[in-house]
Amino acid sequence: MRKEEEVRFWPLSRRRSDLSKAIGRRRLIAALPLAGILLLSPAAAALAQDAGGQSILIGYLGRQEDPRTPASFLEPVATDEGLQGARLALADNNSTGMFLNQSFRLVEQVLPPDGDIAAGLKALADEGVRFVVADLPGDALLAVADRPEARSMLLFNARAPDDALRNEQCRANILHTAASRRMLADALAQYLAWKKWTGWSLLTGRDPGDALYADAVRRAAKRFGGRIVAEKGWTFDTGNRRTDTGVTTIQSDIPLATQGPDYDVLVVADEAGNFGDYLDGRTWHPRPVAGTQGLTATAWSRVNEQWGGTQLQSRFEKLADRWMLPRDYAAWLAVRSVGEAATRTGAAGFDDLVAYLHSADFELAGFKGEALSFRKWDGQMRQPILIAGPRMLVSVSPQEGFLHPVTPLDTLGDDAPESKCHFNR
């Protein structure tokens, strides 16, 4: 077997014509606009079903959550994150399905905060649902995937970024439409390498997810030539930043937290947004902020206006009265994947659709300039990652020059030779 670097990244001199053709074909497919999509009403979908067409059920499983208080009042307060993305995708599926005598129905199980997830899954199974969009944290997702009912289901992980779910804890009945932490960190690292910003200072929050994101950043630094010149943990009390004393405190806390050796960029690991939004303009060194705040690597951002992204954003805003968030996008991808499989195969049977979703023929237009597909070795949806600023799209990874024998998209996250998932290898 070749060395890991040789398997993943080809030098430019070894670019092959067949790879270029394949990439060009995928970009063409991904660029096809969905300008003709109309939001099909439930009545129209029912009419298609009554006419003797194929009907496909898709479940949505999640829990109600208290709304997260945003750092800025400019940010939306979403109480239905994820669910609205699934609803939009259902309308998209039915818009196409009406011409093919196919209809789709979303069966929603949004439980109370202390609701029994196992009971929710059983309720979906009792209704005949076999495709389930799981908007759940990693531990709840694994508990659901290991239930007896889930053995005859296909779950779409539309939320959990945990890399372990794509490695040691992978399951054959899970596909991942949510991007992993390693994908996000690799996407950011490629852009920083392209900019030649190779000296990083890493500032990590207190939450468990922050530590996992920081691990992904360290791994990405080794992969793409970054140097972590300093590491610190955030130890200050977040407090109330909207009070006069809070502003004064944060202005004095952040320089202390970020002083030390000079660096090219401050990389922050703060997934919950406890302090990262306050860093820009207050750091010890006048350097850019990147990571979970500042210059962010994300599966979706409202600033994406390319490849038909504006059209997707506008349709979502009409439906949800807010802009699309990454969890919405992941749920949209999950429901659209089922719809795309049904459209391409003309089938409604579970086994036929699952086989197509796992096949090399499956491709989904995701409004990001490349056709999306699922990796055979871990079920992760390969997709471009946006490098987004607060108001503008800065770049998209994979960056030019990071090549791969199959697709540059596999330079983001765990490639086949390094994967610890063995369910399908």
Mind listing the pLDDT tens digit for each residue in 385-417? 999 999 999 999 999 999 888 999 999 999 999
Domain boundary among 298, 320, 344: 298
Question: Of 246, 294, 297, 292, whose CA–CA distance to 273 is shortest?
Answer: 292
Per-residue pLDDT for 86 more than 70? yes
Q: 373 vs 163, 166, 217, CA distance in Å?
A: 18, 15, 25
**Residues 134 and 260 reside in one and the same domain:** no
pLDDT bracket for residue 71 (50, 70, 90): low
Query: Of 277, 298, 319, which residue sits at a domain end?
Result: 298
- The domain total for the chain is 2
Average confidence score pLDDT of the chain: 87
Residue 419 placed within a domain:
no
Asked whether residue 215 falls in the same domain as residue 290, the answer is yes
Q: Annotate 63-102 with b (16+ C-beta within 10 A) or e (fewer).
A: beeeeeeebeeeebebebbbbbbbbbbbbbbbbbbbeeeb
- The answer to whether residues 89 and 125 belong to one domain is yes
393 assigned to some structural domain? no
pLDDT in tens, 302-352: 999 999 999 999 999 999 999 999 999 999 999 999 999 999 999 889 999
pLDDT tens for 101-131 read 999 999 999 999 999 999 999 999 999 999 9
Report which of residues 299 and 424 the model is more confident about: 299
Judgement on whether residues 226 and 369 belong to the same structural domain of the protein: no
Please tell me the predicted confidence (pLDDT) of residue 23. Answer: 39
* Together in a domain, 83 and 222: no
Report pLDDT for 244.
Answer: 45
Give residues with Cβ within 8 angstroms of 150, minimum separation 6.
121, 132, 144, 173
Confidence of residue 26 (pLDDT cuts 50, 70, 90): very low
* Whether residues 139 and 69 fall in one domain: yes
Higher pLDDT pick, 323 / 75: 323
pLDDT confidence of residue 4? 37
pLDDT of 64 reads 93
pLDDT at 21: 40
> pTM, whole model, 2 decimals?
0.87
Same domain flag for 265 and 313: no
In this structure, the answer to whether residues 238 and 286 fall within a common structural domain is yes
Dihedral, 299, 300, 305, 307 alpha carbons, nearest 10: 50
Instruction: Band the pLDDT of 251: cuts 50, 70, 90.
Output: confident
Domain of 200, CATH number, reads 3.40.50.2300
Q: Which of 107, 144, 154, 146 is nearest to 126 (CA)?
A: 107
pLDDT(1) > 90 = no
CB 59 within 8 A of CB 113: no
Residues 309 and 262 grouped into a single domain: no
What pLDDT does residue 236 have? 82
One-letter amino acid at 222 equals K
Residue 97 and residue 245 in one domain: no
pLDDT at residue 7 is higher than 50: no
Residue 249 predicted with pLDDT over 80 = no
346 and 231 part of one domain: no
Q: Are residues 113 and 136 in the same domain?
A: yes
Q: Note the helical H segments in 101-180.
A: 117-126, 138-145
Q: Domain residues for 272?
A: 182-298
